[in-house]
Amino acid sequence: MPEFASIDATPALVVDLAVLDRNITRMAESARTRGLDLRPHAKTHKCIEIARRQVDAGAVGLSVATVSEAEVFADAGFTDLFVAYPLWVDAARGARVRALAERIRLTVGVDSADGARMLARHAGTGAGVLVEIDSGHHRTGVPPDRADAVAGAARAAGLDVRGVFTFPGHAYGPGLPGAAAADEADALAAASASLRSSSTGPLIVSGGSSPTAPIGVASAATELRPGVYVFGDAQQLELGVIAGSDVALTALATVVSARDDVVVLDAGSKTLGADRAPWATGYGRILGVPDARIAALSEHHATVRWPGTATRPGLGDRVRVVPNHVCNAVNLADDLVVVDSDGSTLDRWRVAARGCTT
């Protein structure tokens, strides 16, 4: 394992540049061979340099989660952005959406007639919309057979309806990605068929998550929006979607206490985030030690159960932690340390959209 001698303090989020670039290229090629546009979700990395690598590899634009994320990436020169969220727009947010739509191609999500009318009233009609449908996650989005009703209300308000989108979030569970991909395909087909009867132009049919994007299910989709694939995380490992060699981002941590089969690290929830899905076997993993698990997290402590089959590290040793949910870990960091395969520091990339929640 690299020593990372050039990193003088832990915890630190470290990005292996070669693995990152390989992940970006692989997803871009997968989308291209299937005739799909790739619009990766930038909420995962929140980083200008990574977004540029994605666009250079063929992405048609970026997905973001919030208006403030869109503002950051628009300021950095990205000209085609989709806020993949059912916005509720008041006067203040409407002014921001209007300003964005005047300088870039902006698309936003809606999932209600009232939401569409509020968008038109406060932001004008410069931004296009995609109608969000529920493909099985049961969070936001309308049933596929009601997509055209929302689209009709949006058109009546003067908005440009560009298509539909969904998030198959119910793929996050062991053995579920395949079924979720099939659910998504059925929902997108029903919704797009409904919209095509009243549409005057080509539709964007947008879906995909990191667990489902690689699955080759026949679908009406024209666009994929995965995010986590650039880095990988412990959830993706547990789902069997990736291997350890696909993990590009880890938290470099130092052993501060060790006894028997327990190792305590200096990377707690304020570094890794505290997400743990009910099906997850821990709060994170150790890269290169597949049977190790983070059993407990405090703000500045990670308690690791170390397997007897692996040599336990000692005080002062450094290990690489794979966060459960990498999006949360990145949002807690000011910057990412970019390293070569031998651990040499190449650069530091600012997490430019950190904290952009509005």
Residue 16, domain member (yes or no): no
Tens of pLDDT along the chain (358 residues)? 677 989 999 999 999 999 999 999 999 999 999 999 999 999 999 999 999 999 999 999 999 999 999 999 999 999 999 999 999 999 999 999 999 999 999 999 999 999 999 999 999 999 999 999 999 999 999 999 999 999 999 999 999 999 999 999 999 999 999 999 999 999 999 999 888 877 766 799 999 899 998 887 778 999 999 999 999 999 999 999 999 999 999 999 999 999 999 999 999 999 999 999 999 999 999 999 999 999 999 999 999 999 998 999 999 999 999 999 999 999 999 999 999 999 999 999 999 999 999 9
Q: Are residues 38 and 146 in the same domain?
A: yes
Looking at 195, 229, 263, the residue that finishes a domain is: 229
Measured between its terminal Cα atoms, the distance across the chain in Å is: 40
Residues 6+ apart with CB under 8 A from 171: 177, 180, 181, 209, 211, 212, 239
DSSP state of 132: E
**Statement to judge: residues 215 and 316 lie in one domain:** no
Do 83 and 195 lie in a common domain?
yes
For residue 153, is it within any domain?
yes
In a domain, 8, yes or no: no
Give the CA diameter of the chain. 68
CATH number at residue 253: 2.40.37.20
- List the beta strands (DSSP E) in the chain: 12-16, 37-38, 62-64, 80-86, 105-110, 128-132, 160-165, 204-207, 223-224, 249-259, 262-265, 284-286, 293-297, 302-305, 318-323, 335-339, 345-350
Say if residue 39 is in the same domain as residue 176. yes
Question: Among 201, 229, 257, which residue terminates a domain?
Answer: 229
State whether 62 and 208 are in the same domain.
yes
The pair phi, psi for residue 5, each rounded to 5°, is -65, -25
What range defines the domain where residue 76 resides? 34-229
Same domain, 155 and 186: yes
72, two tokens: 């950051």
Same domain flag for 89 and 221: yes
With 0.75 as the threshold, say if the pTM is over it: yes
Q: Note whether 177 and 235 are within 8 A (CB).
A: no
Phi, psi angles (nearest 5°) of residue 105: -80, 110
Which of 209, 229, 249 finishes a domain? 229
**Quick one: 84 and 205 in the same domain?**
yes
Domain count, the chain: 2
CB neighbour class for 152 (10 Å; exposed up to 12, middle 13-18, buried from 19): middle
Asked, for residue 95, whether it belongs to a domain, the answer is yes
Q: How far apart are CA 316 and CA 330, in angstroms?
A: 24
Task: Please check whether residues 289 and 249 belong to one and the same domain.
Answer: yes
